[in-house]
Amino acid sequence: MIFEATMPGVIQIRTEIPGPKSRALLARRAAAVPRGVPAVTPIAVAHAEGAVVTDADGNRLIDFGGGIGVVNTGHRHPGVVEAVRAQLDRFAHVCFPVSTYEPYVELAERLNRLTPGTHDKRTFLVNSGAEAVENAVKVARAFTGRSAIVCFEHGFHGRTNLAMALTSKVMPYKKGFGPFAPEVYRIPYPYCYRCERAPLPAGRCCMADRDHLERLFAATVDPESVAAIVMELELGEGGFVPAPAEYVQMLAAFAREHGILFVADEIQTGFGRTGTMFACEHYGLTPDIITTAKSLAGGLPLAAVTGRADVMEAAQPGGLGGTYGGNPLACSAALAVLDAMERERIPERARWAGERVGAQFRRWAESTWCIGDVRGLGAMIGMELVADPVSRAPDKELTGRLLAGALRRGLILLSAGTYGNVIRVLAPLTTEDAVLDEGLAVMGEALMEAVAGSRQRL
Ligand SMILES: Cc1ncc(COP(=O)(O)O)c(C=O)c1O
């Protein structure tokens, strides 16, 4: 079925989605690439600009997925394109551990200044989020001489062995892939909507209780053997759940008292997404180490580990780095991203976009029974879909129908959550107002259709 756009806008649907050319490439993909690498949408991309993706069949779609939070500055930001081209004309690779180049050093300097805290810091660069998290743990262990790491239920930190161990969601990330790295201890995330403890008034957290934390560690791991706590301040993959401020502050104080380092995983929350450059700023938190990736380099693969100088200097020469880490093209892209963040006031723009999206989600929640919770910091907004508002049973099927309906109408949308029932918005933060509204209108139509489908099933 081909959907006609209900109003003139950027979406242009020429064929059913996926069209014949997308289907043909996906068939080749299935024969050449293992199924373990997911294909979240069945479209083949020919071009992407700003918040608009054109597929191989000439359909124009709005992108609310942003390459899973990678293009906060939009696809092909002109500054990024220009910086990468200029760097390519100079050199593409020499290997930073072999020969030093300025874009790497300048990026490290800027991240040291930009990340929370005015203390002396150091940064080194790697290729992916998982690699950044693994390296943060290496550094924390080297500095503290301790081995245990504390992480959270519903957390996601990547697909390498240690990152998998730190990740909570079994399907699809862990099933069949063990044994996992040892000395990893998991504690509950302050996920208020699904909290099983006695509820407190809105804005308060029942887990922000020192005795509760002491008991939790007493039953889990000796705090004196813990090198680091690794935390997403708003769960990304785990369902866009922001931690309450009082919980984070209490946990940070507990960590400090026990000589435990606080590692903030800002791979998804970073670079303006939450309405501040980093989510830490919402909490007044100065982490010992912060990991960043995704929107750092506007689409090029790059990740960073930034931390207290004394902590970061604990690893011996040769213990950190790699062949490609801090590739010059990616560093040049990242410098252009940071310029754009400042010049175009992207975090501010995220606050505004988040209010608009959140207000729309709340309006839908008032008129439909299936939206159990609307939440998030800045533009990192999600809505949790449930089969029944009383039992709060997650509705993954409804979520899938909403995503499929949105795609048929020309909107790329992603889900999240341990139970696969959260709709998350990761649209570029540079998305024009009219395009954001057009995307929301399409999402609204798809939601109503998906809800009508649920009623028919009853
Ligand atoms: C919070 C967080 N940490 C780590 C990762 C892993 O990043 P990558 O996929 O680049 O390895 C992700 C990816 O989604 C993430 O959201």
Domain residue ranges of the chain, discontinuous segments joined by +:
20-63+345-457, 78-343
Residue pLDDT, tens place only, 422-450: 999 999 999 999 999 999 999 999 999 99
Domain 20-63+345-457 has CATH 3.40.1440.10: no
What was the pLDDT predicted at 3?
Answer: 63
- Does residue 458 surpass a pLDDT of 70? no
| Distance from residue 186's CA to the centre of ligand 1 (Å) | 18
Q: What is the mean pLDDT of residues 338-356?
A: 98
Q: What is the mean pLDDT of residues 60-76?
A: 98
Beta-bridge mates of residue 424: 382, 414
| Distance from residue 132's CA to the centre of ligand 1 (Å) | 9
Mean pLDDT of the chain: 96
What was the pLDDT predicted at 386?
Answer: 97
Q: What is the mean pLDDT of residues 26-48?
A: 98
Rounded alpha-carbon distances, angstroms, from residue 61 to 8, 65, 232: 13, 11, 30
| Distance from residue 268's CA to the centre of ligand 1 (Å) | 7
Q: Which residue among 154, 233, 267, 269 is best mutated to probe the pocket of ligand 1, counting the most ligand atoms within 8 A of its Cβ?
A: 267
Q: Which residue among 164, 268, 414 is best mutated to probe the pocket of ligand 1, counting the most ligand atoms within 8 A of its Cβ?
A: 268
Domain 78-343 has CATH 3.40.640.10: yes
Residue pLDDT, tens place only, 91-107: 999 999 999 999 999 99
Determine the angle formed by the axes of helices 328-343 and 78-90, rounding to 10 degrees.
Answer: 150
The residue whose CA has the least distance to atom 8 of ligand 1 is: 129
The residue whose CA has the least distance to atom 4 of ligand 1 is: 157
What was the pLDDT predicted at 200?
Answer: 75
Q: Please identify, by atom number, the ligand 1 atom nearest to the C-alpha of residue 269.
A: 1
Q: Please identify, by atom number, the ligand 1 atom nearest to the C-alpha of residue 155.
A: 1
Q: Please identify, by atom number, the ligand 1 atom nearest to the C-alpha of residue 303.
A: 10
What was the pLDDT predicted at 419?
Answer: 97
Q: What is the mean pLDDT of residues 323-344?
A: 98
Based on C-alpha coordinates, what's the Rg of the chain? 22
Q: What is the mean pLDDT of residues 17-30?
A: 98
Q: Please identify, by atom number, the ligand 1 atom nearest to the C-alpha of residue 301.
A: 10
| Distance from residue 130's CA to the centre of ligand 1 (Å) | 6
CA distance 291 to 261: 13
Q: Please identify, by atom number, the ligand 1 atom nearest to the C-alpha of residue 160.
A: 11
Residue 298: what are its φ and ψ, rounded to 5°? Answer: 60, 25
Q: What is the mean pLDDT of residues 50-60?
A: 98
Determine the angle formed by the axes of helices 328-343 and 346-367, rounding to 10 degrees.
Answer: 70
Residue 457 pLDDT class (50, 70, 90 cuts):
low
What was the pLDDT predicted at 1?
Answer: 63
What was the pLDDT predicted at 197?
Answer: 80
Q: What is the mean pLDDT of residues 171-198?
A: 94
Q: Give the binding-site residues of ligand 1, using a 6 Å CB cut-off.
A: 68, 128-130, 133, 156-158, 232, 236-237, 265, 267-268, 293
| Distance from residue 294's CA to the centre of ligand 1 (Å) | 8
pLDDT over 70, % of the chain: 97
Q: Which residue among 164, 237, 414, 415 is best mutated to probe the pocket of ligand 1, counting the most ligand atoms within 8 A of its Cβ?
A: 237
| Distance from residue 81's CA to the centre of ligand 1 (Å) | 24
What was the pLDDT predicted at 2?
Answer: 67
* Helix (H), strand (E), coil (C) string for the chain: CCCCCCCCCCCECCCCCCCHHHHHHHHHHHHHCCCCCCCCCCCCEEEEEECEEEECCCCEEEECCHHHHCCCCCECCHHHHHHHHHHHHHCCCCCCCCCCCHHHHHHHHHHHHHCCCCCCEEEEEECCHHHHHHHHHHHHHHHHCCCEEEEECCCCCCCCHHHHHHCCCCCCCCCCCCCCCCCEEEECCCCHHHCCCCCCCCCCCCCCCHHHHHHHHHHHCCHHHEEEEEECCECCCCCCCECCHHHHHHHHHHHHHCCCEEEEECCCCCCCCCCCCCCHHHHCCCCCEEEECHHHHECECCEEEEEEHHHHCCCCCCCCCCCCCCCHHHHHHHHHHHHHHHHCCHHHHHHHHHHHHHHHHHHHHHHCCCEEEEEEECCEEEEEEEEECCCCEECHHHHHHHHHHHHHCCEECEEECCCCCEEECCCCCCCCHHHHHHHHHHHHHHHHHHHHHHHHHC
> Which of these, 86, 85, 64, lies nearest to 75 by C-alpha position?
64
| Distance from residue 270's CA to the centre of ligand 1 (Å) | 11
| CB proximity list for 367: less than 8 A, separation 6 or greater | none
- Does residue 273 surpass a pLDDT of 70? yes
| Distance from residue 69's CA to the centre of ligand 1 (Å) | 10
Residue pLDDT, tens place only, 243-266: 999 999 999 999 999 999 999 999
Q: Please identify, by atom number, the ligand 1 atom nearest to the C-alpha of residue 291.
A: 3
Q: Please identify, by atom number, the ligand 1 atom nearest to the C-alpha of residue 130.
A: 11
Q: What is the mean pLDDT of residues 232-241?
A: 98
> Which of these, 315, 341, 302, lies nearest to 104 by C-alpha position?
302
| Distance from residue 231's CA to the centre of ligand 1 (Å) | 12
- Does residue 6 surpass a pLDDT of 60? no
| Distance from residue 211's CA to the centre of ligand 1 (Å) | 32
| Distance from residue 212's CA to the centre of ligand 1 (Å) | 29
| Distance from residue 416's CA to the centre of ligand 1 (Å) | 13
Q: Please identify, by atom number, the ligand 1 atom nearest to the C-alpha of residue 294.
A: 10
The residue whose CA has the least distance to atom 16 of ligand 1 is: 268
| Distance from residue 236's CA to the centre of ligand 1 (Å) | 9
- Does residue 368 surpass a pLDDT of 70? yes
